[in-house]
Amino acid sequence: MSHIHRPALSSALGLGFLTLWLAGCATGPQLDQPAAPAVVQTLPPAFPPQDIVGRWGLAAYHKEEDRPRTEAAAVAGCKQPYVITLGPSGGVMMHLADEATPTELRLKGAPGGKTYIGPADAEPGAAQDREVVAFDGRVLILRWMDSEVQGRYGTMVYVRCGGEGAKRPAAKPKPKPRTAAPRPAQPPVQQQPPQQQFQPPPRQ
């Protein structure tokens, strides 16, 4: 009888060990989950969108030493200017990378005084954003955040066309008309008493 029940007992014990082993795997140490990326706080931009509305000459460079030459090339691009307008929701109408039609983009501030231009539903510095490298009212320089797009397009240089946003020289004061200087007052001529002729004394 005991020999008949040994296979059943062995099977039961094996099944029990298997159940305990699977339970230990289920409750064992879990693999570390990747940490969620830190959310960049959106701050007010360094300048309002109205400041970049207008007509721009456009060029691009890949090496920093080519920047001055690229600015000169952007001025020549005013023959076919790139136009930035205000969007219906307060943003600016500009093109995203590889897009044929303009999209309304937002100016987004970030810690460290940085400003980005990109879709409103993305945090500052997202892949479709462009960072404002420099802006002085006349020259706007933007760098793509996507390294692949930056490698293809380069750093974008926008230069205002015509007198838009240009620093106008201060008007020179008109010269005052010359007037004749007043002559100094002459002192009155003193009349000299008439000179008396010398007469010798009479002889005695």
Place of tokens 């007010």: 44
Taking all residues of the chain, what is their mean pLDDT, rounded to a whole number?
79
The Cα–Cα gap between 108 and 91 comes to: 10
125: in domain = yes
For the segment 42-54, the average pLDDT, to the nearest whole number, is 95
Point out the least confidently predicted range of 31-35, 57-61, 88-92.
Answer: 31-35
pLDDT for position 45: 96
22: in domain = no
Give how many domains the chain has, as a whole number: 1
pLDDT for position 24: 52
Pick from 110, 146, 143, 111: which is nearest to 126 by CA? 146
pLDDT for position 37: 54
* Residue 129 lies in domain: 49-160
Model confidence at 137: pLDDT above 80: yes
123: in domain = yes
State the pTM of this model: 0.62
Pick from 100, 42, 81, 96: which is nearest to 162 by CA? 81
117: in domain = yes
139: in domain = yes
11: in domain = no
Assigned token pair, 67: 């920047």
174: in domain = no
149: in domain = yes
